[in-house]
């Protein structure tokens, strides 16, 4: 132990130290204007600007007077204030407000009992003093630095205004905290749901599992329940299950009647590494009704999405082979009418695949690949339904080679596919007689030499520019399918049809060199197919929407409603002249209709804290193929997550056909050194839902957030 002071007077066991006193041990440092110290008992009484520093746990305290036992590591601090530095958190969740500010506390007095501090008539905060944004103020706090803080009968205050009272408040100070307890309450307002109040509980029984449940009350609709279970049963497995349901009183109409829109949805995600090199994945989604999703979802994207998809599989990969066991279920809602949906199920499907594997390279190189599957499938919809289990066996081997002359590359291939179905279709009738689909697939892809030239680049673009032109062409001939109309459609495997076609494309690129880095500043691809069999072997039905495999490889938009010899010309352009600016523009020009039938353009710009995103989507196809659409999405804002000061953003989706703002969100966030306040206004106007929502979230750095504005719904 070291003792320093301007004057030191020893009387028996007592040291009377005066002037810039400092007592230092291996565990602490005690400083003050004057100290009386007993070397036998280890008792020290410090007065005047007393400063206590714990070297092991790192906390510091300042007080008018300190009574402390160096041997027992206990003491009392009068008119005390202190701080405890936070531990750096690992794997902090994106979007969570974090701060390096210390944990601060003040009180009338405090006592230290070994590694604990009991603070009386004081407050705790992580904000800068003397005017903190928020405090927990109460008669008693129990603090263990680096472990936890407990307040009893405390009041949470923002700018000295009381917000809520907590009989018991618990805050973990650990690096990776997991403690059971009540979640911060939530508040909000909706024009359709009314006032929103919520409270929740988090339970962590051990390090491997936790459960969270949140209860919400909608004054106009009823009660909502949100539960989440997470677990990590083993080192190589984990899962997450979420349940959300609403016990709905119904949407109140002007005449007083109510339309029930309640229901529930469930999501499960899990993965595991299994013995013998197998791995398992599962994503399970269930929705009780599409009406429930549209009425109670929190996002426009989810409300407009009409599909519910679940899949689980066990797989093993070795060499070039893959073995899969898959169960899958897909629901596609056609409208909000009860039962108006298409349900397709695979229960189960076994797949054995092999990617290209070299056979020989003696004369010419040869590779072979294989796709095979055995499945029990089912389709159910209003028009018809199959048997519970329809057998489908599929085998598709393929052989290919690669030839080169000069800079020309030719890649020919030959394949065959046989598929046996346990049932067949005649019109809208499903019969029990099986059907065999057999086909041969011959094709080749020709890669022409690339043309390139290097230019001096403008100063703003870079040092050098390289212009590259890449032409390609391909031929495909599929034959043998004369029973397409008898095939029940379950997935993309069943839309294979006869075709004789060539595909040709031209791609241009501008590569920019900046110093030693090379990037693509611009690219433009033009792509089209020429069909020599306009009826696709009888698979095409005039006057209705046809989905065939040949169109899936060129564009996502349907264009087959009649016989045709040319596909639309697909133009895809990417512009990224500088890292913080980019434009993507995709256009489908249909020569049969002599107009652009589909267009999608998206531009993004960001500079420092300013960001802008604009997208326009337009469909002008035949009503038989898809309904017309003309919508614009825009987002503009200033700020970043965790940025100190004011951030603001606006997001909208406007429909020009109906002259309606379908969805709009405005959010303003102000972050101080220790907390953040977010206010968000949202407007829904689509289908049967016209609603205004007002949501608020108050985030406390390193502690948590309360309010109805969830993390995944924020613009920051």
pLDDT digits (tens, 9 = 90+) for 625-656: 888 899 999 999 999 877 889 999 999 999 99
What pLDDT, on the 0 to 100 scale, is given for residue 90? 47
Here the tokens at position 403 are 């030839």
- Residue/partner pairs of 228-237 with CB below 8 Å, 24 or more apart: 232/208, 233/208, 234/272, 236/272, 236/273, 237/270, 237/271, 237/272, 237/273
Of 296, 229, 241, 305, nearest in space to 264 by CA: 296
In Å, how far are 115, 186, 205, 649 from 666, measured between CA atoms?
47, 20, 39, 6
What pLDDT, on the 0 to 100 scale, is given for residue 533? 95
Inter-residue contact 20 to 7 (CB < 8 Å): no
What's 560's DSSP letter?
B
Query: Cα torsion for 331, 710, 262, 257, to the nearest 10°?
Result: -130
Alpha-carbon gap, residue 257 to 486, rounded angstroms: 48
Of 220, 163, 160, nearest in space to 191 by CA: 220
Residues of the chain with pLDDT under 50: 90-95
Bridge partner list, 221? none
Alpha-carbon gap, residue 354 to 49, rounded angstroms: 77
All structural domains of the chain, each given as residue ranges with its CATH number in brackets, are: 2-172 (2.60.450.10)
What pLDDT, on the 0 to 100 scale, is given for residue 641? 79
Of 552, 534, 535, nearest in space to 489 by CA: 552
Bridge partner list, 20? none
Q: Is the pTM of this model over 0.75?
A: yes
Alpha-carbon gap, residue 182 to 179, rounded angstroms: 10
Q: What number of other Cβ atoms are within 10 A of residue 459's Cβ?
A: 7
């Amino acid at each position: 132990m070291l003792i320093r002071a301007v004057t030191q007077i020893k009387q028996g066991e007592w040291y009377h130290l005066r002037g810039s006193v400092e007592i230092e041990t291996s565990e602490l440092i005690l400083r003050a204007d004057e100290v009386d110290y007993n070397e036998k008992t280890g008792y020290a009484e410090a007065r005047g600007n007393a400063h206590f520093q714990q070297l092991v746990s790192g906390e510091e305290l300042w007080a008018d007077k300190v009574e402390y036992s160096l041997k027992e590591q206990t003491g009392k601090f009068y008119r005390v204030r202190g701080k405890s530095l936070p531990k750096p958190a690992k794997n902090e969740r994106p979007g969570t407000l974090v701060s390096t500010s210390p944990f601060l506390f003040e009180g009338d007095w405090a006592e230290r009992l070994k590694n604990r501090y009991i603070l009386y008539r004081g407050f705790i905060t992580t904000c800068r003093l003397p005017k903190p944004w928020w405090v927990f103020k109460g008669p008693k706090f129990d603090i263990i630095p680096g472990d936890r803080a407990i307040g009893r009968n405390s009041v949470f205050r923002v700018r000295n205004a009381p917000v809520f009272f907590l009989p018991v408040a618990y805050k973990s100070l650990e690096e990776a905290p997991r403690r059971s307890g009540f979640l911060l309450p939530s508040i909000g307002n909706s024009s359709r749901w009314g006032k929103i109040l919520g409270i929740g509980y988090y339970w962590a029984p051990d390090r491997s599992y936790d459960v969270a449940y949140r209860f919400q009350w909608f004054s106009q609709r009823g009660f909502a329940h949100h539960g989440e279970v997470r677990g990590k049963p083993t080192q190589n497995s984990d899962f997450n299950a979420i349940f959300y349901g609403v016990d709905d009183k119904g949407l109140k109409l002007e005449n007083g009647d109510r339309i029930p829109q309640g229901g529930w949805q469930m999501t499960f995600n899990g993965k595991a590494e299994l013995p013998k090199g197998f791995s398992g994945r599962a994503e399970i989604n269930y929705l009780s009704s599409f009406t429930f999703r549209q009425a109670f979802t929190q996002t426009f994207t989810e409300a407009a999405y009409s599909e519910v998809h679940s899949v689980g599989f066990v797989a093993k990969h070795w060499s070039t082979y893959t073995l899969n066991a898959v169960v899958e279920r897909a629901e596609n809602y056609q409208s909000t009418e009860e039962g108006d949906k298409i349900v397709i199920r695979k229960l189960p499907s076994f797949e054995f695949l092999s990617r290209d594997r070299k056979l020989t390279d003696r004369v010419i190189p040869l590779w072979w690949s294989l796709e095979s599957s055995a499945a029990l499938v089912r389709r159910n919809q209003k028009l018809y339904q199959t048997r519970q289990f329809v057998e489908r066996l599929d085998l598709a081997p393929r052989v290919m080679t690669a030839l080169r002359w000069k800079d020309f590359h030719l890649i020919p291939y030959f394949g065959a596919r046989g598929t046996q179905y346990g049932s067949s279709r005649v019109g809208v009738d499903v019969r029990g007689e099986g059907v065999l689909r057999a086909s041969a697939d011959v094709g080749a892809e020709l890669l022409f030499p690339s043309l390139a030239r290097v230019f001096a680049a403008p100063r703003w673009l870079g040092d050098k520019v390289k212009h590259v032109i890449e032409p390609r062409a391909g031929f495909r001939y599929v034959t043998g399918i004369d029973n397409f109309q008898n095939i029940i459609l379950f997935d993309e495997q069943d839309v294979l049809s006869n075709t004789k076609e060539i595909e040709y494309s031209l791609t241009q690129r501008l590569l920019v060199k900046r110093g030693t880095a090379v990037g693509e500043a611009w690219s433009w691809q033009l792509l089209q197919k020429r069909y020599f069999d306009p009826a696709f072997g009888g698979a095409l039905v005039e006057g209705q929407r046809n989905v065939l495999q040949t169109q899936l490889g060129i564009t996502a938009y349907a264009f087959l409603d009649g016989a045709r010899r040319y596909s639309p010309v697909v133009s895809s352009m990417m512009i990224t002249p500088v890292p913080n600016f980019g434009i993507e523009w995709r256009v489908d020009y249909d020569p049969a209709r002599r107009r652009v039938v589909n267009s999608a353009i998206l531009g993004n710009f960001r500079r420092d804290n300013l960001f802008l995103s604009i997208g326009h989507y337009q469909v002008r196809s035949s009503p038989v193929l898809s309904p017309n659409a003309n919508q614009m999405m825009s987002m503009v804002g200033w700020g970043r997550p965790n940025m100190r000061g004011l951030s603001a953003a606006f997001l909208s989706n406007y429909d020009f056909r109906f002259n309606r703002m379908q969805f709009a969100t405005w959010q303003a966030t102000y972050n101080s050194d220790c907390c953040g306040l977010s206010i968000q206004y949202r407007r829904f106007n689509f289908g049967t839902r016209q609603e205004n929502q007002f949501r608020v979230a108050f985030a406390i750095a390193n502690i948590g957030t309360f309010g109805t504005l969830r993390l995944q719904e924020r613009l920051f």
